[in-house]
Amino acid sequence: MYRALENLSVRRLDKYRLEIRRQPPMLTCGVIYANARIEKDLKDGNVLRQVANVACLPGIIGPSLAMPDIHWGYGFPIGGVAAFSLDGGIISPGGVGYDINCGIRCITTRISMRELHPGVEDLLALLYSTIPSGVGSSTRGFRVGKRDLLDVLANGSRWALKQGLADREDLEAHEDGGCMEDADPEAVSERAIERGLPQLGTLGSGNHFLEIDVVEEIFDEDTARIFGLFEGQTVVLIHSGSRGLGHQVCDDYVHAMLSAGIRSGIELPDRQLACAPISGSQGKAYFGAMAAAANFAFANRQIMTHLVRQTFERYFSSSWERLGMRLLYDCCHNIAKKETITWDGRRIQACIHRKGATRALGPGDRRLPERFRKTGQPVLVPGDMGRSSYILAGAPGAKETFSSACHGAGRLLSRQQAKKLGRGRSILDELKGRGVHAMAASRGTLAEEAPDAYKDVAEVVSTITGAGICRAVARLKPLAMVKG
């Protein structure tokens, strides 16, 4: 069942792209978006091999892709993008990831940094006490019963709208309106439901965060105006996902698909690429369960948005509407979606896996809300705790990546390596020295997420914009954050 690849042949196509030449059993080539600086971080070759491994999977359309924030992941690399035909192609839990629909949203405000700055630590403490974070972070979650949870799995942020936790403009600023239509709650195991019941409205741990930023620089005035951005503005980023429920869904189907792949005669270069035909019963069941977990994540981030708005209302003694707390956009990171793509001049129905990558729809795309049709989709690219984040816009060149872009800075060090490097250091004091206030449920998480564990997000962004996939709109500077 497992057939290993031999030595890879890699060449540079241009300033922003590398190619892994096709060799058996690869069905296509690999393309990595990487400038010369990022290329140096790929020297051990393991993550390149993951890109090549994906190129071996049945039904792949076009190249196996990787964004500039690429790093090693389970099966697919994080930063990996691949499209598979709905007719003869596969779906793989490793191509989505364990944190299904881990994603990020940006909430804009009318509040200037000058208005916020004197009391930013007090506001941070209030946010920390309001929104549960940490590994379990379930004791103060937004409690629901099983019937409501099944409604969440079916309807995502539409459920939050019915509960008064969102407005219609919020839903327009979600991918898919905050609900994947093909969700099948019945395909979600009882164990996954048990894990999800206490975790709605919770941040979680690892790289999940809630961050207060200031818009430090505007690169595209016209697009920024449409996005509602201005220099010196306070914005809030929320990065979280489907929590224990999504993790359990992935775990359940990884094990089930190992045997399903054998029955289908699929040869794999790596057992972590466990997959099944997307048109088969196992593939359909996973897609339905994954979509349900994605809907949980949409609702989870929307509940936290409601809690953030309530916290700002208490702190500023004003309504969130008067404070201008508008959802700019909510981007999915770990997801598989059925989309119509054009490849080799043909319109093809495909399942696009984006693992640690975000959709980046270009101008004119009918899937976008009317206000973004001229600009392209807002693409949110968070950095590490001590450096900038970016707001981009999808550009016409994104067609070559199936409308996909980077999702963050990308790790340089594993979590274990980062913790080792952090011994004897106070990451909190180091961040404060940079003018960044932080609160965390665990000091271990701070060490794992230290700025030097990540690539320079500016290099990642300059690669994706240089390649014509996105345009830069604004750069954000972190002021304060809650880490899980």
Q: Is 416 exposed, middle or buried (0-12, 13-18, 19+ CB in 10 A)?
A: exposed
Q: Are strands 470-483 and 437-440 parallel, antiparallel or unpaired?
A: parallel
247 is catalytic: no
Torsion of CA 203, 204, 207, 212, to 10 degrees: 20
Mind spelling out the 3-state secondary structure of the chain? Answer: CECCCCCCCEEEEECCEEEECCCCCCCCCEEEECCHHHHHCCCCCHHHHHHHHHCCCCCEEEEEEEEEEEECCCCCCEEEEEEEECCCCEECHHHCCCCCCCEEEEEEEEEEHHHHHHHHHHHHHHHHHHCCCCCCCCCCCCCCCHHHHHHHHHHCHHHHHHCCCCCHHHHHCEHHHHCCCCCCHHHCCHHHHHHHCCCCCCCCCCCCEEEEEEEEEECCHHHHHHHCCCCCEEEEEEEECCHHHHHHHHHHHHHHHHHHHHHCCCCECCHHHCCEECCCHHHHHHHHHHHHHHHHHHHHHHHHHHHHHHHHHHHHCCCCCCCCCEEEEEEECCEEEEEEEEECCEEEEEEEEEECEEECCCCCCCCCCHHHCCCCCEEEECCCCCCCEEEEEECHHHHHHCCEEECCCCECCCHHHHHHHCCCCCHHHHHHHCCCEEEECCHHHHHHCCHHHECCHHHHHHHHHHCCCEEEEEEEEEEEEEEC
Q: Cβ contacts of residue 33 below 8 Å, gap of 6+?
A: 16, 17, 65, 66, 67, 68, 401, 406, 463, 464, 467, 469
**Distance between CA atoms of residues 432 and 184, nearest Å:** 45
Candidates 71, 208, 247, 407; catalytic one: 407
Catalytic residue numbers? 407
